[in-house]
Amino acid sequence: MFKKILIANRGEIACRIIRTARRMGVATVAVYSDADAGSMHVAMADEAVRIGPAPVTESYLVGERIVAAALETGAEAIHPGYGFLSENPDFVDRVVDAGLVFIGPSAASIRAMGLKDAAKRLMEKAGVPVVPGYHGEAQDIVLLASKATEIGYPVLIKARAGGGGRGMRRVDHPGDFAEALSSARREAKAAFGDDRVLVEKYVEKPRHIEVQVFGDNHGNAVHLFERDCSAQRRHQKVIEEAPAPGMTDEMRAAMTEAAIKAAKAIAYSGAGTIEFIVDASQGLKVDRFWFMEMNTRLQVEHPVTEMITGVDLVEWQLRVAHGEVLPLRQDEIELDGHAFEARLYAEDAARGFLPATGTLHHLWFPDEAAPGTSLRVETGVREGDTISPFYDPMIAKLVVHGPDRKTALDGLGDMLAETEIAGSTVNTAFLAALAADPDFASGDVDTGLIGRKQDELTAIPAPAGAVVAAAVVAVSGLSDMADAGDPWSALTGYAHFHATPRRITLGYGEEVVRAKVGVEAGRTFVELDELNGETLRLRPSAINLARWPGHVSVFDGPVSYTFAVPDPLDRADEAGSGADSLRAPMPGLVKVVRAAAGDSVTKGQPLLILEAMKMEHSIAAPHDGVIVEIATEGSQVSDGTVLVRFAEQAGE
C-alpha cells in the first residue's frame, strides 16, 4: 500500500479521505489556499503545503503546483476528491508524467466520458440507451434551434462539459431559445472553460437514478446498486438516497447491466457513477431509462452507498490505484437497509437558494442516532470557521441509515431537527420540510418536485412567542438560573434594589421587536408589545439558543430564528439603503449589465446578472424607476454593495 498520498482538494471530501487513509496507515499531505490556511483538512493532515491565493484559478486548479507539492513531500499518489481537477485528463497526464499515481481512472477514460456529446455517441455504440437529442459538434445557433424544434419542446440545453447543473437551461418555447442558450454558454464558459452545449428532449416527470460502478486494472467491474438523486433544486442534488424508492428487481437488473456495459466500454478503473434519466410518468419501466452522463470520480453522495453495502469506497480507490484486484466479487456485494444524505448548505432557500457567507459562531450536530438507525456527519468545518465566497458553501452532509426507508427518513428528520448552526443563513429548515413532504415521504419524487413546491418548502413560519421571549431573555442580562433556584443570578444585568423590568429592542428581518423582561418571585417573565402585552413565562433550558456578535439565534426544531441586537452607539450611514437603491444579495462578479444610467425601467425588469460561486443570478428592478447609476460589467462586489441607484421618486 502507498506510504503517503497527497489530497488535491479541500473541505469535507479532503477530511473524508484523510480518515480512511489514517485507518489504513497511509500518511496524508493537504494542500491549501490562503483562505484555507487554518481549515479543518489542513489541521487533520500529516503535512500541508500552500498552493496559492484564495481564488481556485490561482490555487486548487493549478495542477503544476499540486504535482510539485506531491514531489516535494515525497507523496507517491494524488487523490483528487471531487470537483476541481478530479475529471481533468490533462492533470492526470501531468501526475503520471511526474512518476506519481493518480487515484482514479485513466486520462483516456476521463476523456471518453468527459464531454457529454461524445460520451453519448460512445454509449449508443455500446448498446446503452441514450436520451433523444442533438449531441453533435456543430454549435451554430440556427442549427441548435432547428434541432430543438425537431426534438420537440420542452428541451434541455446542457453544457457538454462539467456538471452540477451549471450551464443547464430548460426551454419551453422557441422564442426563449436564444436567450437560454446565451445564458447557458456564459455559465458553462465560466465554470468549465467550454461553452459548447448539447440539446436534449426534456423528460416531463424525470427521476435521476445513478448506479455506482467500480473497476480495477485487471478487467473486473462491479456495481454497488443504485442511488436516487431526484430531489434537486437548480439541477443540483439536495437529498440523495439508496436504494431508489419503488425499484423493482427487473428494473435494477436492466440499469445495473447497462452501467456495467458503460464502464467496460472504456476499460474503467476506480470509482465511477453512471447517471440515468428515468421517465417515471408510468412508474419504473425497463424501456424508460436513458444514459445521461458518467462521473469519472467519487460522488458527493457516495456515503449512502457505503451505508447500504458496508463498503469503504475510498479504501477501494486506494487499493485499486495501488494495483490490487477489487476486494469483492459482484455476488459478494449485498444491499442492506436504506440510507439518506442531506446536503447542508450556507444558502437562503427563501430567496431562491442564494449562496450565503458568514462565520459559524455556533455549530452543533447530533452524535446519537435514533433507535434502529445509525448516522454520520461528513463535514470540513468547525465552529468558528468562515464560509467564504470563494468555494462551494456546503457545511456538512448528514447521513442516516436504517433497516427500511421510513425508519431512515424518520432518523433524518430527527437529525435535522437537532442540528444547530448560527452565523450564516442555512438550509436546515428547507431540508426538514422536504424530508417531511408527503410526496417525498411516499417515494413519489421527481426532479421537479422542489420547483413545484418551492414556496411551501422554503416558507419559514413567524417565530412563536416563546421563541421571541427566549431571544429577549438571552440579550437582557437576566439569567435563566433564576428559574433554577439561584436568587442572586436574577440580579444580573440591573442595579441592586431596582426591580423595574428592563425594556429590550431586537430586530427580526425588517421588523422591530419591543419587550419588557424582569423577574417576579424568582420566575423570569417577558411581555411582548407585539402580542398585546401577553405575559410569557419561560422554563429554564426550554429552548436552545446561541449568542454571537450582535445577534442571538434561537433554535426551534430545524428552524433557526436570528434576532439582531441593536448597538446604541451605531451611527452608520444608512443612505442608499432604502427604495432608491438595489444592493447585491451576495458577493459576486457583475457578469452582464442590461441597462444604463438614464434608462426608465419597470418592476421585475432584469437589470444585470451576478455570478456567485459559478452560478448566474438575475437581478431585477424592485420597482418602476429611472436609473441614476449602475454597476459596471466585470466589477467584483461584496454582499450589500449598491448595484443600482434610482432617481428619488416624486413625493419622497
**Which has the closest alpha carbon to 524: 546, 497, 492?**
492
Instruction: Give Dmax over CA atoms of the chain in angstroms.
Output: 88
Instruction: Give the pairing of strands 206-215 and 221-233.
Output: antiparallel
**Residues 239, 482: contact at Cβ < 8 Å?**
no
Q: Give the 3-state secondary structure of residue 319.
A: helix
DSSP string, 238-291: EEEEES-TT--HHHHHHHHHHHHHHHHHTT--EEEEEEEEEE-BTBS-TTSEEE
Burial 95-117 (b: 16+ CB within 10 A, else e): beeeebbbbbbbbebbbbbbbbb
**Which has the closest alpha carbon to 652: 570, 581, 598, 573?**
581
Residue 99 has phi, psi (to 5 degrees) of 85, 15
Evaluate the omega torsion of the peptide bond into residue 243 and state whether it is cis, within 30 degrees of 0.
yes
Instruction: Give the pairing of strands 551-556 and 559-564.
Output: antiparallel
Number of other residues whose CB lies within 10 A of the CB of residue 12: 22
CA atoms within 13 A on the CB side of 325: 6
Where does residue 64 rank: exposed (0-12), middle (13-18), buried (19+ CB within 10 A)? Answer: exposed
Q: State how far the alpha carbon of 235 is from the alpha carbons of 116, 283, 446, 521, 592, in Å.
A: 16, 22, 11, 57, 22
Please give the Cα distance from 226 to 243 (Å, whole number): 6
* CA-derived radius of gyration, the chain: 27
Q: Which own/partner contact pairs does 83-86 have at CB distance under 8 Å and 24+ positions apart?
A: 83/9, 83/13, 83/392, 84/8, 84/9, 84/56, 84/60, 85/8, 85/60, 85/61, 86/8, 86/9, 86/296, 86/297, 86/298
Catalytic residue among 252, 297, 343, 405: 297
Which triple of cell numbers denotes residue 438? 408527503
Active site residue 351: no
Q: Give the 3-state secondary structure of residue 579.
A: coil
**Which has the closest alpha carbon to 321: 254, 269, 276, 391?**
269
Please give the Cα distance from 47 to 58 (Å, whole number): 21
**Which has the closest alpha carbon to 304: 397, 394, 213?**
397
**Which has the closest alpha carbon to 195: 224, 216, 167, 237?**
167
Catalytic (active-site) positions: 297
